[in-house]
Amino acid sequence: MAVRVYRGLSPVPAVDAGDRGLAYGDGLFETMRVARGRLPWWPAHHARLARGAAALGLVAPPRDWLEAGLAALLAGAPSDAVLKLVLTRGAGGRGYAPQGAGEPTLVLSLHPLPAAIAAPLVLRWCTLRLALQPALAGHKHLNRLEQVLARAEWDDPDVHEGLLLDARGRVACATAANVFARIDGRWLTPRVDECGVAGVARAWLLDRVPDAAEAALSPADVESAEALFLCNAVRGILPVGRLGERRWPPHEGLRALAAAMGRELAAG
């Protein structure tokens, strides 16, 4: 795994042990698909990073400089891979106060593409419910203990993902993916204004698919849906075949949608 660490715009050998990313999760990340040595969805990832940085009051590095660093790392990368970016507020500051923190820390790392999942997916419901925090919702920040605890609820390799409810009992997302349900001729996905992450694949679908929309979804809505899928920026669309006892046959429209996103993701 190739890793590069920067303090401000300068390469450094390692992350400082006093980094606020480690101390408080005071930062953001992006997990990006590398295809044909490029980042097909970079503009969307960068836009989300910029929105998160504005929300946290964190200074993101200049885009040109960032793109040069990504290009240098990608030059030695396999054609298909995953590139992870972590941006933190750097070291220091007075306790929680961000005033006085040093220059931001940037970590870029290359990882092998995860093994393909033999779709359709098998899901379970998680017990943990996501807390409602409008100040952080939607952003891909580094406070991910809820996802870690939810993912720790099962260790059965035949279960691929877990669906999470929010504190009010509405469907929110999977531990590492957004969810869409086919209901009354539309692809519906939960809002991300109180919890959850505004996924890049989710945004692509809401933007490109005329019958995709945001909606509040109950567990019963999801279980009675005509079809169900998860999506994220690394794996694209993943049709769901089973959720607990509920099973779905392959869905014709979903197959076409998954193929369309797959072509875009693999195009580089």
Q: Which residues bind its own copies (CB under 8 A)?
A: 1, 3, 5, 13-15, 17-26, 29, 56-57, 86, 88-89, 94-99, 107, 109, 114, 128, 131-133, 135-136, 141-152, 155, 167, 175-176
CA proximity to 250, closest of 157, 177, 182 = 182
Among residues 235 and 251, whose Cβ is nearest to its own copies? 235
Toward its own copies, which CB reaches closer, 164 or 225? 164
Helix or strand holding residue 83 (H, E)? strand 81-88
Shortest distance (Å) from residue 59 CB to its own copies? 13
Distance CA 61, CA 97 (A): 21
Measured from the CB atom, the residue of 21 and 236 that comes closer to its own copies is: 21
DSSP string spanning 103-120?
SPEEEEEEEEPPPPP-SS
Q: Which of 181, 180, 223 is nearest to 199 (CA)?
A: 180
Nearest residue (CB) to its own copies, 160 versus 202: 160
Q: How many CA atoms lie within 13 A of 219 on its CB side?
A: 17
Residue among 158 and 207 whose Cβ is closer to its own copies = 158
Judged by beta carbon, residue 26 or residue 182, the one nearer its own copies is 26
Q: How far is the CB of 87 from its own copies (least distance, A)?
A: 11
Determine the residue type at 95: G
**Alpha-carbon distance 27 to 202, whole Å?**
22
Distance between CA atoms of residues 157 and 142, nearest Å: 26
* Shortest reach from residue 212's CB to its own copies, in Å: 25
Q: Which of 231, 224, 229 is nearest to 245 (CA)?
A: 224
Nearer to its own copies, 191 or 246 (CB): 191
The distance of closest approach from Cβ of residue 194 to its own copies in the complex, given in angstroms and rounded to an integer, is 9
Q: Which of 138, 6, 20, 161 has the alpha carbon at shortest distance from 85?
A: 6
Distance CA 247, CA 260 (A): 24
Least distance to its own copies from the beta carbon of 251, Å?
26
Residues 6+ positions from 153 with CB-CB distance below 8 Å? 124, 126, 127, 128, 162
CB of 126 to its own copies, least distance (A): 11
Cβ 112 to its own copies, closest distance in Å?
Answer: 12
